[in-house]
């Protein structure tokens, strides 16, 4: 609210519950911006902020779905007004049926409305959302108002994590660790990828996670060279490596882990050689995530680290580097994705990509080397919090990653 213009109002809508077909629905997931600002994790919820409202009670308003005994029986108890205040800290709570009337009153007092558009650099949304429908309706009804975006304010707020947020992300990482330790003695030749996925899910849910923070990648052998392999329907074979990009959520906060383990319990000499190279790049890249660094320049520096590693592995030579295309450096043949992204309420979270990194930001660090000709790919990924001084704090420091640790825990 402090960042909003004078005589303005901001509106944040919950997500829809999306249909599958017939009467089937996908599980509800709250819009992360609304959750961040209010803590309300329920469908048909609207948050309205109007710092200069004439009625002081209307400077913060939460609208929630009106509940009744029938809804309680068929769907479970929904927030009543008192509970909505307890969850959000917002004193003024109305049923959502009153939204249009209250918004009209506020629009007569204001000149500007903030719309909450999706401006994440990876967004590729084709579905019309509840937010989209509201924006369309609002523009038609109030054409004389100025329109501005709430997203730049939210990006700045959400990019730096509060200590409570870091604690929740740490809890998600701790649950992920339990899942990983569960599967290490379980994996052996003949186990199917989906069986490993099931073991992770079992451990996550029994530790009060809703489940996976994102669609899990359980990729054995050459499947690891498909970056977004999610079929998870193949058997693990003797001598293969198994790439696991799988992590738990906790209280809507994400973790994001990748480990690569040997199906037979021991790395071959070549596998270990490439694994150590990836781990070295990960450790060195982590040290570069410090206040004042720039995200784009950081990726250039990590590219140099990976180039050196690939030359040491004899996958590249100096001639390859000398003749490389600056827009697609030579190392991209074996490491084609980014090294780090912001993480928090979204696995790929909002962040200030064109400003210096600051303390409190949470990043992944996830280099990889992919070798289709050799039948394996290796990626390693941890989650770290940028510190005011020194190296970032690794939220996954207790999750086994050294070759010796992993082999000791496997059959």
Residue 225 in tokens: 């060279």
Residue 12's alpha-carbon distances to 2, 29, 35, 148, 219, in angstroms, are 16, 15, 10, 13, 38
Consecutive H or E run containing 316: none
pLDDT at 143: 97
pLDDT at 68: 80
Q: Nearest 5°: phi and psi at 396?
A: -115, 25
Residue 278's alpha-carbon distances to 194, 322, 369, in angstroms, are 26, 23, 7
Are the C-beta atoms of 331 and 352 separated by less than 8 Å? Answer: no
Consecutive H or E run containing 258: strand 258-262
Residue 137 in tokens: 């309706």
Residue 195's alpha-carbon distances to 59, 111, 190, 359, in angstroms, are 51, 57, 10, 39
Residue 371 in tokens: 């070798």
User: What is the C-alpha R_g of the chain?
Assistant: 24
Consecutive H or E run containing 207: none
Are the C-beta atoms of 234 and 223 separated by less than 8 Å? Answer: yes
Instruction: Give the distance from CA 283 to its chain's centroid.
Output: 21
Distance CA 314, CA 321 (A): 12
Are the C-beta atoms of 45 and 14 separated by less than 8 Å? Answer: yes
Are the C-beta atoms of 263 and 411 separated by less than 8 Å? Answer: no
Q: What are the structural domains, with CATH classification, of the chain?
A: 8-158 (3.40.350.10), 160-409 (3.90.230.10)
Instruction: Give the distance from CA 245 to its chain's centroid.
Output: 13
Q: Nearest 5°: phi and psi at 94?
A: -120, 160
Distance CA 275, CA 30 (A): 38
SS3 category, 355: coil
Distance CA 27, CA 212 (A): 13
Consecutive H or E run containing 86: helix 81-88
Task: Give 125's contacts (C-beta < 8 A, 6+ positions apart).
Answer: 118
Tens place of pLDDT per residue across the chain (411 aa): 999 999 999 999 999 999 999 999 999 999 999 999 999 999 999 999 999 999 999 999 999 999 887 877 788 788 999 999 999 999 999 999 999 999 999 999 999 999 999 999 898 888 999 999 999 999 999 999 999 999 999 999 999 999 999 999 999 999 999 999 999 999 999 999 999 999 999 999 999 999 999 999 999 999 999 999 999 999 999 999 999 999 999 999 999 999 999 999 999 999 999 999 999 999 999 999 999 999 999 999 999 999 999 999 999 999 999 999 999 999 999 999 999 999 999 999 999 999 999 999 999 999 999 999 999 999 999 999 999 999 999 999 999 999 999 999 999
């Amino acid at each position: 609210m402090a960042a909003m213009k004078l005589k303005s109002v901001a509106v944040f809508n919950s997500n829809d519950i999306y249909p599958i077909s017939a009467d089937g629905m996908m599980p509800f997931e709250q819009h992360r911006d609304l959750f961040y600002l209010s803590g309300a994790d329920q469908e048909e919820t609207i948050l309205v902020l109007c710092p200069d409202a004439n009625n002081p009670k209307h400077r913060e308003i939460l609208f929630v779905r009106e509940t009744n005994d029938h809804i309680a029986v068929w769907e479970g108890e929904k927030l009543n007004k008192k509970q909505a205040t307890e969850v959000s800290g917002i004193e003024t709570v109305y049923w959502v049926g009153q939204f249009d009337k209250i918004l009209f009153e506020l629009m007569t007092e204001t000149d500007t409305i903030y719309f909450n558009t999706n401006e994440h650099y990876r967004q590729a949304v084709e579905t019309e959302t509840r937010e989209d429908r509201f924006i369309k309706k609002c523009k038609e009804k109030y054409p004389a108002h100025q329109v501005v975006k709430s997203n730049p304010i939210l990006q700045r707020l959400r990019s730096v994590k509060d200590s409570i947020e870091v604690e929740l992300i740490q809890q998600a990482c701790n649950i992920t660790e339990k899942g990983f330790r569960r599967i290490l003695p379980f994996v052996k030749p003949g186990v199917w990828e989906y069986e490993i996925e099931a073991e992770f899910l079992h451990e996550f849910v029994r530790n009060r996670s809703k489940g996976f923070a994102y669609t899990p990648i359980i990729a054995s052998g050459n499947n690891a060279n498909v970056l977004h392999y999610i079929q998870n329907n193949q058997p693990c074979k003797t001598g293969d490596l198994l790439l696991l990009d799988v992590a738990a959520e906790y209280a809507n906060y994400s973790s994001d882990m990748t480990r690569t383990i040997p199906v037979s319990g021991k790395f071959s000499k070549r596998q270990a050689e490439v694994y150590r190279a990836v781990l070295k790049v990960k450790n060195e890249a982590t040290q570069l995530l410090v206040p004042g660094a720039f995200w784009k320049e950081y990726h250039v520096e990590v590219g140099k680290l990976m180039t050196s590693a690939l030359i040491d592995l004899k996958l590249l030579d100096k001639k390859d580097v000398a003749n490389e295309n600056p827009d697609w450096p030579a190392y991209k043949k074996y490491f084609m994705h980014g090294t780090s992204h912001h993480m928090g309420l979204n696995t790929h979270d909002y962040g200030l990509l064109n400003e210096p990194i600051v303390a409190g930001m949470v990043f992944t660090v996830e280099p990889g080397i992919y070798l289709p000709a050799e039948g394996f790919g290796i990626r390693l990924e941890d989650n770290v919090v940028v510190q005011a001084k020194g190296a970032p704090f690794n939220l996954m420091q207790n999750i086994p990653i050294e070759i010796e640790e992993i082999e000791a825990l496997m059959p």
